[in-house]
Structure 1
Amino acid sequence: MTILDKFQPLQGAYDAVRAAGQDPFTVCFDAVLSPSEATLKGRRVILLGTNNYLGLTFDGECIESAVEALRQGGTGTTGSRIANGTYDDHAVLERRLAEFYGCRSAMLFSTGYQANLGILSTIAGRGDHILIDADSHASIYDGCRLGQAEVIRFRHNDPDDLARRLNRLKGAPGNRLIVVEGIYSMLGDTAPLAEIAAVKREWGAHLLVDEAHSLGVLGRNGRGLVEQAGVEADVDFIVGTFSKSLGAVGGFCVSDLPDFDVLRIACRPYMFTASLPPSVIASVTRALARIQEEPGLRARLTGNAERFYRGLRAEGFVLGPQAGPIVSIRMPSTEVAIAFWNALLEAGVYLNLALPPATPDNAPLLRSSVSAAHSEAQIGAALAAITAIGRELGVVAAPASRAEPLRPQGDGPRRASMAAAPIPVAPAAVAETTL
């Protein structure tokens, strides 16, 4: 017996998935050729399972900025932000993020996961209450667990349930912090943010919005759902990541609260982690400028997402509730989902496999991420491959007029990883799309 014996059920489930074909957790590309194409075992595949929403990982200006910073600043800072790890470029990026959001302050983190972990575990303490959407990302759950506040889940995208739970706290001491996401990464649905902001105002709570999947995607200026919903004045904290629309790695939090900067000496995940290397800071700074300079990137992303979503709906696939960069297809069973995913890989299309119990409504899903970099031909080829395999496996059985959107249900953390943990796991360890 060893300390790892408790993971034997998980190992068994993992082995069963691997026995059915390719291992979805250890896909290793020979080379990534562009934001939309790679080679895998010597064959070209369309990348339809990354979060490269604006295709900026291969942007020439971002690459050149990173290369120049690498030459001038070296490969890393070898220190935390409160020691030797703050360079002028870190401060510049924080100022530009704050200006982008119209806020006083911004803090950088080494990952988006760490941003949620650090902010949530720090701003809400003993005697406070955090109310989180039940479908929240694993980093939100873990940030809550690391802190000492009482954590209360409310039903996914249900402002009325949020209000009921706040009402039950009437008279109790402590602050209330509401946490939601701009775009939820399993089904691609957006939060009813205007209604949630109204509840926040009514009950005198604070509001944090995780815009990981909506930065650069939503809003006239790409500031996310907060901008699109017109509630920027109601949001106290915005958390985001650099690993999706900005095409790099890292995370941030912006806020207009006057005392926000005290978190630099209170937030342990910020204080005790090495800061981002100069090359990453440089590429992200340039990518942020590209979001502001080129609204056409968002327009191309929206066009590709709507074409892909409507094409699948027309064939009778059951999808998430709205068109967007994340398009998930409901599968009739886990076995069919695994077979479908393997067949798509053989057909030259890579997307993500998500299995229960770590999915909304315990539904097996094939999760796609559309990019502005996808060509019309690539979208068409992916639609053709998915449709052909769907017909072969009997997934497309109902006419398009009878296909109903997949509606998230439940009140627990049942979110799946894009390629990390879509097999049975303990609820506290549920992983999701990486930040």
Structure 2
Amino acid sequence: MMGLFDRFKSVRDAHGALKACGGDPFGVKMERVLSTTEAMIEGRRTILCGTNNYLGLTFDPDSVAAAQQAIADFGTGTTGSRIANGSYSGHQALEQDLADFYGKKHCMVFTTGYQANLGAISTLAGPNDFLIIDADSHASIYDACRLGSATVIRFKHNDPVDLDRRLARIANEPGNKIIVVEGIYSMLGDHAPLKEFVAVKKKHGAYLLVDEAHSMGVMGATGRGLLEAEGVDHDVDFVTGTFSKSMGAIGGFLISDHPEFDILRVACRPYMFTASLPPSIIASVRQSLAVLRAKPELMRKLWQNVDTLYNGLQAAGFKLGTQKGPVVAVHLTDPVLAGVAWNALLKRGVYVNLALPPATPSGTALLRCSVCAAHSTEQLQHVVSVLTEVGEEFGLLPQPALRIAAAE
């Protein structure tokens, strides 16, 4: 008889191989968080370069104070969903803040960004509809497709021509067509060609949902993400996002101008049957959003830091993504070698993310760095230096002569 967990043998073996490299990259314990950019790990002071804390707001004093006051005023949690236990005033205030920020009429706040995608996508697309999703979509998007009942069609990553081709094949099929893409992709850090996707959407009379999890607070003149940077704010039908990146907390949202939006509050199961965000998180996110709007210099500092890390690693000879952004991923071909390199970095006081298949597209192994506005130039230069040292030690870099030729 097959054991209950026998089907996970390949996962267990792969995880075991990684742990044999010297440590468990998926079980890191931060013994003490010293600041936005440093923590104690394995007794060592370690630079955090893998936290997605893009604006460095986890220790913003006003956001911390707002969270503390909310705990004192409202307690530690809501102990139920908004459908069952009611909405606190902060929930509705945050939804209004976000709607105003994006220039939209409607907003729903979810307990996680994962649930925002899970709820929005599975509810919007019905049994006679079509979900057309980018092949490199986040796990939450794929899981939303599994939860729902629509027909799912994948198109080639960031390829408007392939999207157009696949929509043309179902042009005469009844049902709504909903395109789902991300703004900045979480693994490779590349950006969606939103202008081209909008043109395809209009051509076929489809809807477009953009997940701005990694681009909110990072791109656009006011931080509204890639849709603002590309000037397509009013052409995107639905926007999802998270508070666990630039807002320094946890939670998610769905925003739209659709006139029947509010029916989702009594139709979306991941919204209806999950306990709502605690007042402390609501309060800290409202304050962090206010900081984002009041301090555009945070985004400018973030992009200066992106240049420091990206340009430094590129000059060292590492293979990186083609587009700059707060996600800077070093591409490797061997998962085990990537695990060895990750361990070597941690032992030298640098924490990054190890990303491996099947989470990564095309079987690529990544040393995934994320940049923070609070990083100092010296910290990022040190990260470049340590990565280069490890790269040379384990043969991750081309020979110097080849590096010079590539640079020319």
TM-score (norm 1): 0.91
Partner of 2:397: 396
Give 1 or 2: higher helix fraction. 2
1:7 CA displacement: 1.1
Equivalent residue runs for 1:66-81 within 5 Å:
66-81=67-82
Amino acid at match of 2:244: S
Partner of 1:382: 383
1:318 CA displacement: 0.5
2:231 counterpart of 1:243: no
SS of match in other structure, 2:82: coil
Q: Is the 8 A contact 1:309 1:327 kept in 2?
A: yes
1:83 CA displacement: 1.9
Q: Is the 8 A contact 2:184 2:190 kept in 1?
A: yes
Q: Deviations over 1:142-183 (max 9, x none)?
A: 111111100000000000000000000011000000000000
Counterpart-to-counterpart distance in 1, 2:116 and 2:336:
36
Counterpart-to-counterpart distance in 2, 1:358 and 1:90:
33
Q: Is the 8 A contact 1:45 1:348 kept in 2?
A: yes
1:401 CA displacement: 5.3
- Which deviates more from structure 2 when the two are superposed, residues 70-79 or residues 324-333? 324-333
2:341 counterpart of 1:363: no
Amino acid at match of 2:220: G
Partner of 1:284: 285
1:361 CA displacement: 2.0
Counterpart-to-counterpart distance in 2, 1:346 and 1:79:
43
Partner of 1:99: 100
Change (3 A) 1:402 1:142: farther
Partner of 1:223: 224
1:400 CA displacement: 3.9
Counterpart-to-counterpart distance in 2, 1:254 and 1:311:
37
SS of match in other structure, 1:45: strand
Counterpart-to-counterpart distance in 1, 2:70 and 2:365:
43
Counterpart-to-counterpart distance in 2, 1:67 and 1:403:
53
Counterpart-to-counterpart distance in 2, 1:335 and 1:287:
39
1:15 CA displacement: 1.0
Counterpart-to-counterpart distance in 2, 1:403 and 1:202:
41
Q: Is the 8 A contact 1:163 1:199 kept in 2?
A: yes
Counterpart-to-counterpart distance in 1, 2:336 and 2:314:
22
Partner of 1:135: 136
Counterpart-to-counterpart distance in 2, 1:70 and 1:235:
36
Partner of 2:182: 181
Partner of 1:428: none
Partner of 2:44: 43
TM-score (norm 2): 0.97
Counterpart-to-counterpart distance in 2, 1:116 and 1:374:
30
Equivalent residue runs for 1:134-283 within 5 Å:
134-283=135-284
Partner of 2:298: 297
Partner of 2:308: 307
2:89 counterpart of 1:88: yes
Q: Deviations over 1:382-424 (max 9, x none)?
A: 01100111111111115445559xxxxxxxxxxxxxxxxxxxx
SS of match in other structure, 2:30: coil
Change (3 A) 1:357 1:93: closer
Amino acid at match of 2:16: D
Counterpart-to-counterpart distance in 1, 2:268 and 2:331:
40
Amino acid at match of 1:274: A
Q: Is the 8 A contact 1:317 1:400 kept in 2?
A: no
Counterpart-to-counterpart distance in 1, 2:245 and 2:224:
14
- Which deviates more from structure 2 when the two are superposed, residues 9-18 or residues 136-145? 9-18
Amino acid at match of 2:342: W
Q: Deviations over 1:73-124 (max 9, x none)?
A: 0000111111224101100000010010011100000000000000111010
Counterpart-to-counterpart distance in 2, 1:88 and 1:147:
31
SS of match in other structure, 2:254: strand
Counterpart-to-counterpart distance in 2, 1:105 and 1:167:
31
Change (3 A) 1:401 1:133: farther
Q: Deviations over 1:256-308 (max 9, x none)?
A: 11110110000011001100000000000000111100000000100001111
1:357 CA displacement: 3.6
Equivalent residue runs for 1:316-395 within 5 Å:
316-395=317-396
Counterpart-to-counterpart distance in 2, 1:162 and 1:402:
37
Partner of 1:411: none
SS of match in other structure, 1:173: coil
Partner of 1:119: 120
Change (3 A) 1:147 1:400: same
Q: Is the 8 A contact 1:313 1:400 kept in 2?
A: no
Q: Is the 8 A contact 1:118 1:269 kept in 2?
A: yes
Once the two structures are aligned, what percentage of the paired residues are identical?
Answer: 58
Structure 2, unpaired ranges of 5+: none
The CA RMSD measured in Å over matched residues stands at: 1.1
Q: Is the 8 A contact 2:308 2:381 kept in 1?
A: no
Q: Is the 8 A contact 2:156 2:163 kept in 1?
A: yes
1:230 CA displacement: 0.5
SS of match in other structure, 1:30: strand
1:57 CA displacement: 0.2
Counterpart-to-counterpart distance in 1, 2:271 and 2:52:
25
Counterpart-to-counterpart distance in 2, 1:366 and 1:15:
19
Q: Is the 8 A contact 1:332 1:395 kept in 2?
A: no
